[in-house]
Amino acid sequence: MSKPRSIDRDKVLDIAEAIVDQSGAAALTIDAVAKAMGISKGGVQSCFGTKQGLVNAMLERWGRRYDACLEKAAGVSVEQLSSIDKISQHIHITADEQALIARAASHLSVLLEAKELREWIKRWHHERLAELDTSTPEGRQARIAYFATEGAFVLRYFGLAELSDQAWQDTFNDIAGLMGKQAM
């Protein structure tokens, strides 16, 4: 009797991301992922259950990658960062981690049609903003800087404004200045 083949969940997620990147969210199906992986639909379902489970796993993996970037930039664990420091590092990551951010924009732009994804994104942003003490000048400045960062992200990566690399860096230097920080 042969040993059952194990399925690499990360490889399945890589395939799912590639399908979204190349063909859009509508093309993301259990069947498409299975065919691209060379496994059965049951194999994909054994890893993720449903398409929504697959999408959730994609989002969770992006969240882990973001947290890893945050920790690398800060030099400490996420739990050790103040709410202000988290926003400051978010600005830094958005300005400098172009591969992570471009990939996130690509996935978000095509997956936004799903209500469940919008809810996940709302929770993700709420977690960052809810910790801020907006009764203080620092908290209010951090909130404005966060909104400016997200606005710049949407404008650039959703193709709504053309920003050269220099204009992008200048924008983030200005945003960092809102928080009284040195240029990125």
**Would you kindly state where each structural domain of the chain is located, as residue ranges?**
78-178
pLDDT of 107 > 80? The answer is no
**pLDDT on residue 151:** 93
**pLDDT on residue 93:** 86
Query: What are the angstrom distances between the C-alpha of 121 and each of 39, 57, 90, 117?
Result: 31, 14, 15, 6
> Residue 143's pLDDT band (boundaries 50, 70, 90)?
very high
**pLDDT on residue 141:** 94
**pLDDT on residue 94:** 87
Contact of 121 with 148, CB cutoff 8 Å: no
75: left (phi over 0), alpha (psi -120 to 50) or beta: left
Q: What is the mean pLDDT of the chain?
A: 86
pLDDT of 96 > 60? The answer is yes
**pLDDT on residue 56:** 86
**pLDDT on residue 80:** 94
Using a pLDDT cut of 90, give the percent of the chain over it: 49
> Residue 4's pLDDT band (boundaries 50, 70, 90)?
low
What does the DSSP assignment read for the chain?
Answer: -PPPPP--HHHHHHHHHHHHHHH-GGG--HHHHHHHHTS-HHHHHHHHSSHHHHHHHHHHHHHHHHHHHHHHHHTS-GGGS-HHHHHHHHHHHHHH-HHHHHHHHHHHHHHTTSHHHHHHHHHHHHHHHHTS-TTSHHHHHHHHHHHHHHHHHHHHHTTSS---HHHHHHHHHHHHHHTTPPP-
**pLDDT on residue 113:** 64
24: left (phi over 0), alpha (psi -120 to 50) or beta: left
Query: pTM here?
Result: 0.75
pLDDT of 90 > 70? The answer is yes
The candidate with the shortest Cα–Cα distance to 93, out of 44, 128, 118, is 128
> Residue 15's pLDDT band (boundaries 50, 70, 90)?
very high
Contact of 121 with 115, CB cutoff 8 Å: no
How many Cα atoms are found within 13 Å in the side-chain-facing hemisphere of 84? 13
Q: How long is the chain? A: 184
Higher pLDDT, 42 or 6: 42
